[in-house]
Amino acid sequence: MSERIIRGHVGVGPKVTGVALSAADYFSARYDLDRIRGVFSRPAHKLHGESYVGRVLVLLGAKGGVATSWMLREMASRQMAPLALLLNTANPIMAQGAAFADLAFMDRFGEDITKAIATGDEVTVDPAAGEVRVRRAASEKPG
């Protein structure tokens, strides 16, 4: 097991640990998700069909509209939210939604976070410290 620490901008939300779901694609709760079933539903999305519930979602950035700011909290109220969200670049909607939902959220890492974290990595997100710890089984390569 190897461990690496990645620094980012100070974020919002609590310190959490979970398993990553990572892709070089963008995120919008309205455009991309079936929020009832808890899966990516947009056919063109690289995570189409994958469950995001309880995962540390690692994506390039935000796309789409403003609805995510309500939806993150709504998903959390049904225990159908991701555990944390890491983006290369946030937009205001993601930050507002994470603050409203009390979801762990960070961005601005100084490297492409979707290349630094692979699906299946164990990740500790500490928004107040602006720090992400990534643990990977020795035999695994970044996806």
Partner 1 sequence: MRLDDEERAMLAGELGAPRRWAIEQQIRVGRFFDAQDMVRVSQVHLMADTESLGASGVEFLEKLAAAPAEHRRVHVPTVTDPRGIDFAAYKRLKVDERFAGLERRAIAAFSAMGVLMTDTCINYQTIMPPVHGEHLAFGDTGSTIYANSVMGARSNFEGGPAALAAALTGRAARYGYHLPERRRGTRHFVLKDRPRDLSDWGALGGVIGRKLQSYWEVPVIDGVSAAPTSDELKHFGAALASFGTVALFHVPGITPEAPDARGVFDGAVPKAETIGNADIAAFRDSYDAKGDKLDVVVFSAPQLSLVELQMLADRLDGKRVHAGTALLAATSPEIKSAADRMGLTGRIEDAGAVVLQGVCFYQMYAREIAEANGWKRLMSNSAKLVNIIGGYGYKPVLASMDRCIESAVAGRVL
Binding-site ranges for partner 1 (CB under 8 A)? 9-12, 26, 30-34, 36, 41-44, 60-71, 73-74, 77-78, 88-93, 95-97, 99-100
Please provide residue 5's backbone torsions phi and psi, each rounded to the nearest 5 degrees. -110, 130
CB of 66 to partner 1, least distance (A): 4
Nearer of residues 100 and 129 to partner 1, judged by Cβ:
100
Least distance in angstroms from the C-beta of 44 to partner 1: 7
Nearer to partner 1, 5 or 36 (CB): 36
* Sign, CA torsion 115/119/121/122: positive
Q: How far apart are CA 75 and CA 111, in angstroms?
A: 29
Residue number with CB closer to partner 1 (113 or 121): 113
**Residue with smaller CB distance to partner 1, 16 or 67:** 67
- Which of 78, 119, 87, 92 has its CA nearest to residue 106? 87
In whole angstroms, the minimum distance from the beta carbon of 62 to partner 1 comes to 5
Pair type for strands 33-34 and 104-106: unpaired
- Paired tokens of 119: 């699906």
